[in-house]
Amino acid sequence: MEWDDCTVKASTDSASARPTIYDVAHRAGVSKSLVSLVLRGSPNVSDPRREAVQAAIDELGYRPSRAASALAANRTQSIGLLIDDFHNPWFVEVLRGLRSVLDPAGWNISVADLQLEALSGRNPLDGFLAMHVDGLIIAAEPHAAPPLRNLDVPFVVAGVRELDSGPADVVASDEVQGAGLAVEHLVQLGHRRIAHLSGTGGSAKARLDGYLRSVRAAGLEPLVVGESGDTTEEAGYTAARELFSGHDGVTAVFAANDTMALGALAALKEHGLRTPEDVSVVGYDNTPLAESRYLDLTSIDSHNASIGSEAARALLGRIAEPSAPRRQLLLAPSLMARGSTAAPPS
Partner DNA sequence: CTGAAAGCGCTAACAG
Partner DNA sequence: CTGTTAGCGCTTTCAG
> Residue 42 and residue 39: Cα distance in Å, rounded?
8
For position 20 contacting DNA by CB under 7 A, the verdict is: yes
At residue 137, what is the residue type?
I
Q: How far apart are CA 142 and CA 298, in angstroms?
A: 28
By CB under 7 A, residue 55 contacts DNA: no
Judge contact between 281 and 257, C-beta under 8 A: no
Q: What angle do CA 196, 201, 203 make, to 5 degrees?
A: 65
| CB of 54 vs DNA, minimal distance in Å | 13
Span between the terminal Cα atoms of the chain, in Å: 53
Instruction: Based on DSSP, count helices (H) and strands (E) in the chain, helices before strands.
Output: 13, 12
User: Shortest distance, CB of residue 76 to DNA, whole angstroms?
Assistant: 11
**Contact call for residue 49 and DNA (CB under 7 A):** yes
- On whether the CB atoms of residues 199 and 227 are closer than 8 A, the answer is yes
- Name the minimum Å distance from CB 68 to DNA: 3
Q: Which positions from 74 through 93 interact with DNA, judged by CB under 7 A?
A: 74-75
31 binds, among a second copy, DNA, none (CB under 5 to 8 A by kind): DNA
Contact between 51 and DNA by CB under 7 A: the answer reads no
Cα 253 from Cα 186, distance rounded (Å): 9
Q: Which residues contact 104 (CB under 8 A, 6 or more apart)?
A: none
263's contact among a second copy, DNA, none, with CB below 5 to 8 A by partner kind, is: a second copy
Q: Counting contacts by CB under 7 A, is residue 9 touching DNA?
A: no
- Which of 11, 14, 16, 44: binder of DNA (CB under 7 A)? 44
Q: How far is CA 5 from CA 8, 11, 19, 58, 83, in A?
A: 5, 11, 17, 12, 34
In terms of CB distance, is 76 or 177 closer to a second copy? 76
Please give the helix or strand (H or E) that residue 89 lies within, else none: none
Is 326 a binding residue for DNA by CB under 7 A? The answer is no
How far is 253 from 283, CA to CA, in rounded Å?
A: 9
Tell me what percent of the chain is helix, strand and coil, each rounded to the nearest 5: 40, 15, 45
Q: Which does 33 bind (CB under 5 to 8 A by kind): DNA, a second copy, none?
A: DNA
Nearer CB in complex with DNA: 133/289: 133
Shortest spacing between CB 34 and DNA, in angstroms: 5
With CB cut-offs between 5 and 8 Å by kind, which of DNA, a second copy, none does residue 130 bind?
a second copy
Nearer to DNA, 22 or 326 (CB): 22
Q: Residue 19 or residue 333: which is nearer to DNA going by CB?
A: 19
CB of 314 to DNA, least distance (A): 23
Residues that bind a second copy (CB under 8 A): 1, 3-5, 7-8, 10-11, 16, 63-68, 70-71, 76, 86-87, 89, 91-92, 95-96, 99-100, 103, 108, 110-111, 116, 118-120, 122-127, 129-132, 144-147, 149-152, 233-234, 237, 262-263, 265-266, 269, 288-289, 292-294
Give the other-Cβ count within 10 Å of 112's Cβ.
18
Kindly list the distances between the CA atom of residue 220 and the CA atoms of 80, 196, 231, 270, in Å, as whole numbers in the listed order: 45, 13, 25, 27
Angle at Cα 50 formed by Cα 49 and Cα 55, nearest 5°? 100
Residue choice 9, 61, 64, 223 for contact with DNA (CB under 7 A): 64
> Which of 3, 48 has the CB closer to a second copy?
3
For residue 232, give the 3-state DSSP assignment: coil
Footprint of DNA (CB under 7 A):
17-18, 20-22, 30-34, 36-37, 39-40, 44-46, 49, 62, 64-65, 68-69, 71-75
